[in-house]
Amino acid sequence: MPLKNINAFNVDYPNDGYHQKSCAYDEVTVCPSCHHALSPQPLIAYYVKHDGLCKSYFRLHLLCFCARCREIFLCEYHGDYEQATYNALTLVFRRLISATPMTHSPVRFSDDINDLSPGFVETYTQASAAEAEQLLQICGPGYRKSLEFLVKDYLCHKFPEDAEKIRSELLSQSINRINDHRMKVLAERSTWIGNDETHYVKKREELGLDDMKRFIKAMLSYIESELAFEEAEAIPRK
């Protein structure tokens, strides 16, 4: 998407038009308050220069208005000499750090999933709320825990005679019980990503929370289809 432009004040000289700079930034396309798509109305902007240990860098603070929910929110961007083609006229900000205040949009699950694994629903919802608050160091382990609830509750439903073993065994052992190859792969890869979120050094830097959530969502589709089939199969012929 093309960058938007705004004249921003220097926070150290807030009333001095001489220190204003044209700032190009990547526009937010979803309101953090109402979560609807928008082209926000920019109100005012300030840029701040920071002197780092190795180089100077800049932050842009942009106040925006959402016409749909009539809320004002603050966007913060990062830029520096290396990443952001800085010259005497323009600062370029391609990295959005945050858009606040962020209102959590509750995740909706089907009645089948709510009945099958309330522990998954509760844990996933809490992890999603942490992510919305930009608590990115703790939401990953939360998603990983929700996955364990989902896998074990699904297997306890499939194999009630082994429920006690399933509840106490390692998640990897539970995953090996899954008969559907596609679901097993999704569960296994989701676990790899989730485990990385709990470790000091990640083994798979190219994978992250979005991949894990996408794999869990695919698992939910398979589980819901299976539960629907069981319900249909239980309907007697007439």
| Nearest of 148, 151, 146, 195 to residue 177 by alpha carbon | 151
pTM recorded for the entire structure: 0.65
Compute the distance between CA of residue 212 and CA of residue 233 in angstroms, rounded to an integer: 32
| Nearest of 106, 103, 28, 25 to residue 69 by alpha carbon | 103
For the CA atoms of the chain, what is the radius of gyration?
A: 24
Q: How many residues are given for the chain?
A: 238
Question: 184-212 as b/e, with b when 16 or more CB fall inside 10 Å?
Answer: bebbbebbebbbbbeeeeeeeeebebeeb
- What are residue 37's DSSP bridge partners? 30
- 122 and 87 in contact (C-beta within 8 Å)? no
Compute the distance between CA of residue 124 and CA of residue 218 in angstroms, rounded to an integer: 15
Pairing of strands 90-93, 56-66: unpaired
pLDDT 10s digit of each residue in the chain, 238 long?
Answer: 688 999 999 998 887 778 888 899 999 998 988 888 888 999 999 999 888 666 778 999 999 999 999 999 999 999 865 444 555 568 889 888 888 887 877 789 999 999 999 999 999 999 998 887 778 889 999 999 999 999 999 999 999 999 999 999 999 999 999 999 999 999 999 999 999 988 888 888 888 888 999 999 999 999 999 999 999 999 998 8
